[in-house]
Copies of this chain bind each other. A is one copy, B any other.
Amino acid sequence: MMHISELETPALLIDLDVMERNLVRVAAYAREHGLRLRPHTKTHKTPALGKRQVELGAAGLTVAKVGEAEVMAQAGGPGLLVAYPIIGASKLARLAAVARNMPVTVSLDSEEAARQLSEAGSRHGVSFGVLVEVDLGFGRVGVDPLAAALSLIRFVRAQPCLSWEGIAFYPGHIKLLDEAGMATLRHVTDLLSRCLESLHDSGLVPAVVSGGSTPTLFQSHLVSGMNEIRPGTYIFNDRNTVASGACAWGDCAATLLVTVISNAKSGQVLIDGGSKTFSSDTMAGGSEAEFGRIVEAPQSRFFKMNEEHGFVDVSASGDAFAVGDRLRVIPNHICVAVNLHERMYGVRGERVECVWQVEARGKLQ
């Protein structure tokens, strides 16, 4: 059994007990409220972890890209949701190959995407489930939830190789469940109600109403009409999740183990991780420019990054570190950080208990 001190840095560590607790908590929440849980695997990109989510009762796994679907098919389970419009014959042929082995649902927001998907189904002898993506205010993908949604659902239902399963949305514009966030949540819920009414009035009852975002995760049962959630980050959590109020520091399972490589400048230490280790993501919706929380020195400020250098200001906190000292850092955004690493190390205390290859890392197509 390896000890953490034997790992070369920077290394991505996953606290196995914290991760398991996070997985169980959300699975229990979903079960308690009768919500389908279709975890987004973009956060961990690792079939072994997708498999654990399936064991804990997931109604399938969510991916963003065909390459992720190909990898995550190894995790098994009831099926895959590709929460992204897939465009182009070549990618669709690959997706059809996945659909030969397990049910595949795609969320999309255009007739063109629906037409291409159905054609691929027809060409390769498979059918696809479809969720029609509606925009409840985030302004990314998604059609208007009233007239346009109705029209697109009818179009989907008319395609030979598509089976309409419901609607999907992503309320990513709710950053914090403060007063403004609660008002936005009410607005989303209201828009969703009107969308569902309009569908019911037209005799179209969606089996799946899929939504949810991390800040609102544990308020999902308040969104009347929604029956499925697709959280991703909850498996590890990060600085953003803590800031949103959806978890505490002790729920952050992922840390970057780094080494102090220079303290030549007074009041500052340099760590061996920068934008190629953490990503350059700043905090969601904020102007604050810190890049992580140093577990051993939470009062210090990780204020700047270059590609391989992290700048930590210890002048105010009074922390002193020597070249060679090791620190653990909770990143701002774990999903993009994981994507930069070849491996993750599962740890308990100071012991490294397992190593996962991040198999869907960089599967951009």
A272 to B260, CA, bound (A): 37
The minimal Cβ–Cβ distance linking A92 to chain B, given in whole angstroms, is 10
User: Which of A155-163, A200-208, A240-248, A306-314 contacts its partner?
Assistant: A306-314
With a CB–CB cut-off of 8 A, which chain B residues contact A306?
A: 140, 172
Residues of A259-312 whose CB lies within 8 A of B: 259-265, 268, 270, 272-273, 275-277, 279-282, 306-309, 311
A322 touches B (CB below 8 Å): yes
Partner of A323, one of B112, B268, B307: B112
B277 touches A364 (CB 8 A): yes
User: Which of A8-16, A120-128, A191-199, A347-355 contacts its partner?
Assistant: A8-16
A362 touches B (CB below 8 Å): yes
Residues of A86-118 whose CB lies within 8 A of B: 87-88, 90-91, 109-110, 112-113, 116
User: Which of A31-39, A52-60, A177-185, A333-341 contacts its partner?
Assistant: A333-341
Partner of A109, one of B87, B110, B262: B262
A342 touches B (CB below 8 Å): yes
| A83 and chain B: residue at smallest CB distance | B308
Name the residue among A135, A306, A307 with the largest chain B CB count within 10 angstroms.
Answer: A307
A260 to B113, CA, bound (A): 11
With a CB–CB cut-off of 8 A, which chain B residues contact A140?
A: 262, 265, 270, 306, 309, 311
A78 touches B (CB below 8 Å): no
B364 touches A6 (CB 8 A): no
A141 touches B (CB below 8 Å): yes
A29 touches B (CB below 8 Å): no
| A110 and chain B: residue at smallest CB distance | B323
A224 touches B (CB below 8 Å): no
With a CB–CB cut-off of 8 A, which chain B residues contact A365?
A: 8-11
Q: A264-B143, A279-B279, A280-B280 are in contact. Are A88 and B307 (CB under 8 A)?
A: no
Supplied contacts A135-B265, A276-B364, 8 more A-B pairs, CB within 8 Å: A8-B365, A10-B365, A109-B262, A142-B262, A142-B265, A144-B264, A148-B264, A307-B336
11 CB < 8 A contacts A-B:
A8-B90, A10-B364, A84-B308, A87-B259, A87-B261, A88-B259, A110-B323, A135-B265, A142-B262, A273-B364, A340-B364
